[in-house]
Amino acid sequence: MSERTRGEHARTQLVEAAIRLLADGGAEALQARKLATEIGASTMAVYTHFGGMAALMDAVAREGFRRLIANMATVGQSDDPVADLYGLALAYRRTAVEHPELFTLMFREAGARGQAVGDLMKESPSSEAAASFRGMVAAVTRTIEAGRLKGDPLSVASQIWSAIHGYVTLELLGHFGRGDRGVAEVLSPLCVTLVVGLGDSPAAARASVGLVTTTV
């Protein structure tokens, strides 16, 4: 039980190699044999450490969610909770755009393991995906406590998450054009629309969203 450094290292090596393959070869490039040569080992490594490609991809997806959470965590808590919320949206979108294949895999795997992401309307403390959602619930709660938005935090967070996730999904599919055009033309107005619809004043909403836009 002495940490067997080599073994644990191989495990993370595999996940990192997988993310690398994914990044510059797409989902099709994520193959056991390519992984093996990538880390200078045989395909058996995949089986001793994960039991199969499915479990490895699951681990890759988890790592992706961990990065998403980390990126969302860099958005601090300013005195403008609506601006923070928009910052979360941008962080979510940036994570996806920087690693589109990984982001796609994350939600494909979430579907593959059926209910594993869980019912986020309730408690599901184990799942990584749920953690990123809880960050959003917390941010929403602050906007409500600040008197900017109205409604049940869980429902409001679900609505906002749906909208952002949908925008990101469609942007990755090539709608809304390339570059940051979609952010300016769709995501940013969408966030204004949402917070105004949830009780914020149009002027305050535009101001809060405008504040963060320079951070893109």
Binding stretches for DNA (CB under 7 A): 2, 4, 6-7, 10, 30-33, 36, 41-49, 52-54
196 binds, among DNA, a second copy, none (CB under 5 to 8 A by kind): a second copy
| Nearer to DNA among residue 4 and residue 122 (C-beta) | 4
Tell me if residue 118 falls in helix, strand or coil: coil
# binding residues, a second copy (CB under 8 A): 45
Helix (H, G, I), strand (E, B) or coil at 3: coil
Torsion sign, CA atoms 6, 54, 71, 172: positive
92 counts as binding a second copy under rule CB under 8 A: no
Q: What secondary structure letter does DSSP report for 215?
A: T
59 vs 164 by CB, closer to DNA: 59
Closest to a second copy by CB, 86 vs 167, is 167
Alpha helices in 26-148 (DSSP H): 32-38, 44-49, 53-73, 81-98, 100-112, 128-145
What's the token pair of residue 130? Answer: 């749920």
120 lies in the site for a second copy, by CB under 8 A? yes
Q: Give DSSP secondary structure letters for 71-105.
A: HHHTS---S-HHHHHHHHHHHHHHHHHHSHHHHHH
Which segment (9-17, 34-42, 191-199, 207-215) binds a second copy by CB under 8 A? 191-199
Give the residues lining the site for a second copy (CB under 8 A): 104, 107-108, 110-111, 114-115, 117-121, 151, 155, 158-159, 161-170, 172-177, 181, 185-187, 189-190, 192-198
